[in-house]
Structure 1
C-alpha cells in the first residue's frame, strides 16, 4: 500500500473520532480536504514546486498520530521560560499538535481579544471561525495543506477586534514530545480586524529524541489598516522535520512582516503565500538559514499582487556548510489590475564547503505595465580579497570569516522590530556560527527532567 493510500485509509478509520471532536461544519471541510488529497497526494519531485525537496523520504517512517491531547504532569513554566532579557511576552504552548491549557482553553479579554485553543474557538465562536477558516489556505492547495485540513484537531486561535492591540508580544512554543516516532498536524488561525495590531514570536523546539514530522498550517487575516509582525525561530534536532504552510490575506493599507530564522533541524520546508487583496498593502517576508551536516532547508514564497499601489519585499539569506543543501523559490505575481506595484526580491547564499549545495529560483510574472519590480540571486564563497585585507589588519583568519558571516546574516536579523528579540537572535546566530550553540542552548527547557506525556 502506498503512503498516500495509508493516510486515506487512516482517515476512514478515524473519521468518527475526527467528526466527534469538532462541530458539524468542520466535517464537510475535512471530507473535502481528504478528497483533494486523494487526487494530489503528498507532493513529489515531479511537482515543479518540490523539485529539489524529497517529501516522500521523510514520510517513509511508520509514524504514529495523536487524536487527543497528551496528558502531562507538569506546568508550562516547568518546561519553558523565556530567557530574552527585557522582553515581556505572554506564553502559549502547542504540545504534540494540541493547545496546552493551564486553567482555561480559551479566554476572552476585556478588550474583546480572544486567545487560546482553535478547537474550542470552533465550538464557542463558530460564525467567526467559519468566516475565515480554510478561506485562505483553500481546499485546492497542495497535498500537505489538504492532509493538515483533514487531520488537524487543534492549534492556536487569536482574534484581535477593530482598533485593539495585543500589547505585549505573544510567544508561541511548538513542542513535539512523545516516546515514539510521531506525525503531528496542527492548525493556527489569526484574525486581525481593522486597525488592530499584534506581535507574535514562534519558537519550534523538540523535547525528545524520536523522529518527528510536523505539518502545520497557519492562516492570517489582516484587515484594513492592521499591523502584524511574525517572527519565527526554528531550532530542532536532525531527526525532526518541519513542513510549515503560511497563508496571509491582506486588505487595504495593512502591513504584515514575517521573519523566519532557521538554526537547526532535519528537512525543513517553509511555504509562505501572500495575497495583497486591496490597495496600499505592504508585505515583507524575510528569512535566514544556517545549515550544516545533512540539513536541508527549502523556502518557498509566493506573493500575489492582485490590486494596485501595493509593495512587497523578499530578502532571504543562507549559510551552508558540510553536506547541507538549501533551496529558495520566490515568486512575484503582478496581475493586470495591479498598477503602481513595487516588488523586490533578493536571495543571497554563502557556501562554506565544496559539498554544500544551493538551488535558487527567483521568479517574476508581470501582467501590468506601470510597475517597479526587481529580483536577484547570488551563491558563492567568502571573498578571499576581503579576508586577506582583514588578516593584513591583524585579524586572525578564523575570526575574519566569522565577522564576515555575521555581517552577512545581520541584514535579515536587523529587520526584527522587537529590540530585545533582535539582540537575542543576534547572540544565537553568533554562537551558531562559532559552533557553540546546540539546539537546546537558547532556552530554559528542562528537557531531560520531564516525564513523557501519556
Structure 2
C-alpha cells in the first residue's frame, strides 16, 4: 500500500469533520490541496528536492490525529520553563497544532500587533487572512505542503503593522503532547508590513515519550524596509519526526535573518524557499546541526533572486557523530534581470566517526552577467594534528574532541544577533557535545 493512501482515505472519510472544526478561509483551499496531494503523492527519493530523505517511510505509520479538536490536558506555563537568561520575551505556546489561549503573557504588545490563533483572526478579519493564506505555499508544487493544507485546522498568526517596532522578542514554544502516537499539522502566517521590525524565536519541545510526526508550513511576508529575525530551535527526542516548509517573500530594502538550530531530534527535514522580489533586499540563512546515534537532518534551501541589487548570505554547518546522517542541498537562483546580485553560500561539515554520513549539494544557477556569487562545501574529520597538539598539552582526547567540535560550529552561533540567545546557545551546544543536554533547565517535564 502506498503511504499516501491512508491520508486519501482519511480525508474522504473525515473531510466534513475537518471542515467543521476549522474556518472558511482554510476550508476554501482545502479541496484543491487534496486534489494536488492525490495527483502528486508523496515524493520519492527520485525527486530532486527530496533525494536525501525517505518521505514515504516517515508517513507509513498509523498516527492519531486530533480532528475533533479535543482539549489537551496541559498547562504549558506551569510545566515549561524554556527561558533564555537575560532575554525578556513575550511567551506563547502552541500545543501540538493548537494555539494555547487559556493563559496569555501579561506583557502587552505594541498597538496593532497580533499574536493569535489563525481561526480567531480569520473570524474577525477574513479578508486579511485570505489575502495571504496559502498564497506563498503553493500546494500544486509540493505534496507535503498540500498535505498540510488539506489537514491543518488552525494555526498561528503574527502580524506587525506598518512602522511598528516590537522591542521584546516574541517566543513561540511548540509542544508535542499526547498519550498515543500523534500527527500534528501546524500552520504559521507571519506578516510584516512596511517598516515593521520584530524578532521571533520558535522552540520545538516534546512533553511525552511518544512517536510524533509533525508537518509545518510557515508563510512569511516581509514588506518594504521591514526587518524580521526568525530563530528556530529544535530540542525534541529520537521518536520525533518533523517536516517543515518555510516560504518567504521579501520586498524592497527589507532584511530577513533566518537561523535554524537542530540539537535533538529523530528525523528532521527542513525546506526554506526565499524569494527576493524587491531591489535592495538582503537575507541571511544560517543553520547549525548537531546529530549523533541514528539521527537524520536534511536541510534544503532555495534563494531566488528575482530582481537586481539584492544580497544573500548562507552558512550551514553540521557535526555528525556515531551513525548520524546529514544532508544539505542549497540552490541559489539568479534570474536574468537580477543584475548587481551579491550572493555567497557555504556548507561545512564535520564527521566525527567513519560511520557518520553527510550529503552536500551546493548549487548556483545564474542567468545575469553582472553578479558576485560564490558557493562551496567541505566534508572532513577531526584534525589529528590538532588533537595531538592539544593532548601534548595535557588535554584528554574527549575534551580535545569537544573543543574542536565546539570551535567548528561557533561561526554559526556567533551570527545570531540576539546576544542573550547567542550566549544561551553557546551553553546548550557545549552541553550537547558533552552529552549532558536532556532538555531546558527548569522544565518539570524534562526527563
TM class, shorter-length: over 0.9
Question: Secondary structure of 1:431's partner?
Answer: helix
Contact 1:70/1:96 (<8 A) preserved: no
Alignment of 1:348-363 (within 5 A): 348-363=348-363
- The answer to whether structure 1 residue 445 and structure 2 residue 437 are counterparts is no
Contact 1:161/1:192 (<8 A) preserved: yes
Give the alignment's TM-score, normalised by structure 1.
0.95
- Post-superposition Cα deviations, 1:236-266, rounded to whole Å, max 9, x if no partner, equal 1111111111001000000110111101111
- Distance in 2 of aligned mates of 1:50 and 1:85: 38
Question: Secondary structure of 1:355's partner?
Answer: coil
- Distance in 2 of aligned mates of 1:395 and 1:26: 58
Q: How has the CA–CA distance of structure 1 residues 381 and 15 changed in structure 2, closer, same or farther, with 3 Å as cutoff?
A: same
- Distance in 2 of aligned mates of 1:59 and 1:87: 38
Give the alignment's TM-score, normalised by structure 2.
0.96
Match of 2:234 in 1: 234
Question: Secondary structure of 1:82's partner?
Answer: coil
Match of 1:329 in 2: 329
- Distance in 1 of aligned mates of 2:204 and 2:297: 15
Alignment of 1:148-187 (within 5 A): 148-187=148-187
Match of 1:410 in 2: 410
Contact 1:314/1:345 (<8 A) preserved: yes
**Greater displacement, 280-289 / 399-408:** 399-408
Contact 2:196/2:226 (<8 A) preserved: yes
Contact 1:76/1:102 (<8 A) preserved: no
Question: Secondary structure of 1:202's partner?
Answer: strand
Contact 1:22/1:123 (<8 A) preserved: no
Question: Secondary structure of 1:64's partner?
Answer: coil
Match of 2:431 in 1: 431
Match of 2:341 in 1: 341
- Distance in 1 of aligned mates of 2:201 and 2:263: 15
Q: How has the CA–CA distance of structure 1 residues 122 and 108 changed in structure 2, closer, same or farther, with 3 Å as cutoff?
A: farther
- Distance in 1 of aligned mates of 2:198 and 2:68: 30
- Distance in 1 of aligned mates of 2:103 and 2:95: 16
Contact 1:70/1:95 (<8 A) preserved: no
- Distance in 1 of aligned mates of 2:431 and 2:416: 18
Match of 1:376 in 2: 376
- Distance in 2 of aligned mates of 1:394 and 1:448: 35
**Greater displacement, 4-13 / 155-164:** 4-13
- The answer to whether structure 1 residue 398 and structure 2 residue 402 are counterparts is no
Q: How has the CA–CA distance of structure 1 residues 125 and 209 changed in structure 2, closer, same or farther, with 3 Å as cutoff?
A: same
Contact 1:175/1:206 (<8 A) preserved: yes
For structure 1, the residue ranges without an aligned partner over 5 or more in a row are 450-454
Contact 1:80/1:443 (<8 A) preserved: no
- Distance in 2 of aligned mates of 1:392 and 1:111: 60
- Distance in 1 of aligned mates of 2:76 and 2:269: 28
- The answer to whether structure 1 residue 46 and structure 2 residue 35 are counterparts is no
- Distance in 1 of aligned mates of 2:73 and 2:240: 24
Aligned length: 446
- Distance in 1 of aligned mates of 2:406 and 2:209: 30
- Post-superposition Cα deviations, 1:111-164, rounded to whole Å, max 9, x if no partner, equal 111111012112111111111111111122211100000111112101100000
- Distance in 2 of aligned mates of 1:298 and 1:72: 31
Match of 1:195 in 2: 195
